[in-house]
Structure 1
Amino acid sequence: MDERMRLGEFLRRRREAADPAACGLPPRSRRRTPGLRREEVAERASISTVYYERLERGRGALPSASVLASVAGVLQLSAAEQEYLYRLAGHAAPPHRREREGVDAGLQYLLEALDDSTPASITDHFNDVLAQNWLNRELLGDVVDLPGWQPNLTWRWFAQPGWRDLLEPREQHTQTGLAYVADLRAVLEQHEPDPRAVAMLDDLRACCEEFGELWEQHTVMARHCADKVITHPQVGALHLECSVITSVTSSQRLYVLKPAPGTPSRQRLDQVLSGRTLIPSQPVRG
């Protein structure tokens, strides 16, 4: 079996083992086939279904690193699985996530204080998610310990289209994308770029045409955190206002999602909290 056939077999097996709920799809009990369908993987990886089918059948040229990054994100591959996938396609795997930075003690205190009322998370200056409280994990999944670039909010926005659809109405996507690009540019100019930061920038430019086009605009703008509309499977739509609190002792940030006034979101969040021991946390959607 040549490398293309091995690659195709591996992709098929991982697709069949994938959890549809991780992409916001109906659970397996309502589906005729296990895992994800080929067209579902292709759509979320921003490639054609015909092309993805050829990959699984071991036909045609081996895929590029950018295609591998998109497919690996959709299939939620572990670090070891990503390395194997890249090796089968003749590419070097992207660098592993660096050792996690210690969470700012002051922001951690606020994060825990909000645990019984408000979704919140802490990121570092590169937008890697370092910590989440229970409500944040319930709405968005646990992203802290995911492999590769997946804990990074900028990466998730551009490389995993399902993520942005989970968070915001589509009319906000362009503005939020510009904000992520501008924020990354500002951060790279303010800090000594480490190899991982440079590699992530290169991979974003390679895997996402939209990111590359926005990057070339050299946009500079104030920090921006758009309001969110997140649909919880038990209570429905949650309209949330986003606020950012920056630490005075570190470069970390606390993202707080407050219920929007004039909406039933506060009552609906309380319903989620009342079922905390009954409703299992939702897996990562991306």
Structure 2
Amino acid sequence: MPENGELTMRETLADFLRRRRDALSPQTVGLQAGPRRRTPGLRRDEVARLANMSATYYERLEQGRGPQPSTAILAGLARALRLDPDERAYLHLLAGHTAPAVVAPDGVVDSRLLSVMRALEETSPAFAADDLATVLAQNELHTALFGSVAGLPGWEGNLFWCWFVSHRWRRTMLNPPDQQEAIGRAYVASLRVVVAERGCDAAATALVGRLQAASTEFARMWNEHRVSKPPSSPLVTVMDERVGRLDFDHALLVGPRSRQRLYSLHAAAGTATRQRVSRLIELVRRH
């Protein structure tokens, strides 16, 4: 006998499918209404055919009796019922799965994250990246401190590569080795979660494989199999030859649909970082 929570989720899933089927007209999916149709929506067998599954299986889902549908089944249902991104995410949630990310075209940044990144322009270095941490955009301050990374070929524009292999983001850091170790571990632990969310797909597997081959440090941390979400790590301290020491706290914002990330650094309280960042902005714009 299923637990009450499981029963409620099955019933809610069944009701959601029925409501969406009733709300979808035959003409929307290219079917003729016909004179004998008793309902303005689709029939169960029509949804099943559009979703590439058996009518019996779909009927059981609508009756709250079916087994947990796979992600492939859910993808077919979302396509057949013309679900929007929010509805698709809700469907996966009801079925006990993580909603798949909405994949943006190559190089396109989540508009919400981009607006936040631009709003931080005067005070905080920030960059936007996809869920595998390939950098898609940087604001002026981040570029001034760490160089231009967005759009670099191969893995050179990837956060993990910049940390573990090229070390371009560690060269000016004043954090002692143990703190850098903690930062690296936080990165790896968060990547573990992302790889699982992506179902160990080809892109995630390729990135992990290349990092393991190129960095013994990454390979050691990956083999520890720690997970965390979101990552936590020490304050980041950067020495900039133009303005001096900069002490940053950090924040992570995840796009609810795109799964893209916005990583930002913020002046630590009780330090001179805010004034020095303002000075850095003046120097960069002057030149």
Q: Distance in 2 between matches of 1:242 and 1:273?
A: 19
Does the CA contact (< 8 Å) of 2:121 and 2:139 recur in 1? yes
Does 1:269 pair with 2:274?
A: no
Residues 145 and 101 of structure 1: is their aligned pair in 2 closer, same or farther, counting only changes over 3 Å?
closer
Does the CA contact (< 8 Å) of 1:240 and 1:258 recur in 2? yes
Q: Paired residue for 2:184?
A: 177
Deviation at 1:168, TM superposition (A): 5.3
Deviates more, 1:204-213 or 1:232-241: 204-213
Deviation at 1:230, TM superposition (A): 1.3
Q: What is the identity percentage for the equivalent residue pairs of Structure 1 and Structure 2?
A: 34
Count of equivalent residues:
182
Unaligned runs of 5+ in 2: 1-103
Q: Distance in 2 between matches of 1:251 and 1:269?
A: 29
CA offset digits 1:71-96 (Å, max 9, x no partner): xxxxxxxxxxxxxxxxxxxxxxxxxx
CA RMSD of the aligned region, Å? 2.0
Does the CA contact (< 8 Å) of 2:237 and 2:245 recur in 1? yes
Does the CA contact (< 8 Å) of 2:249 and 2:265 recur in 1? yes
Following superposition of structure 1 onto structure 2, how do residues 194-273 of structure 1 map, counting pairs within 5 Å?
A: 194-226=201-233, 227-273=235-281
Residues 164 and 264 of structure 1: is their aligned pair in 2 closer, same or farther, counting only changes over 3 Å?
same
Does the CA contact (< 8 Å) of 2:195 and 2:201 recur in 1? no
Does 1:108 pair with 2:114?
A: yes
Q: Distance in 1 between matches of 2:242 and 2:254?
A: 32
Deviation at 1:125, TM superposition (A): 0.6
Deviation at 1:118, TM superposition (A): 1.7
**Higher-RCO chain (CA-CA 8 Å, sequence separation at least 6):** 1
Does 1:190 pair with 2:197?
A: yes
Q: Distance in 2 between matches of 1:171 and 1:103?
A: 34
Deviation at 1:262, TM superposition (A): 0.8
Q: Paired residue for 1:137?
A: 143
CA offset digits 1:11-49 (Å, max 9, x no partner): xxxxxxxxxxxxxxxxxxxxxxxxxxxxxxxxxxxxxxx
TM-score, with structure 2 as normaliser: 0.59
Q: Distance in 2 between matches of 1:161 and 1:106?
A: 29
TM-score, with structure 1 as normaliser: 0.59
Unaligned runs of 5+ in 1: 1-97, 280-286
Say which one has the larger Rg: 2
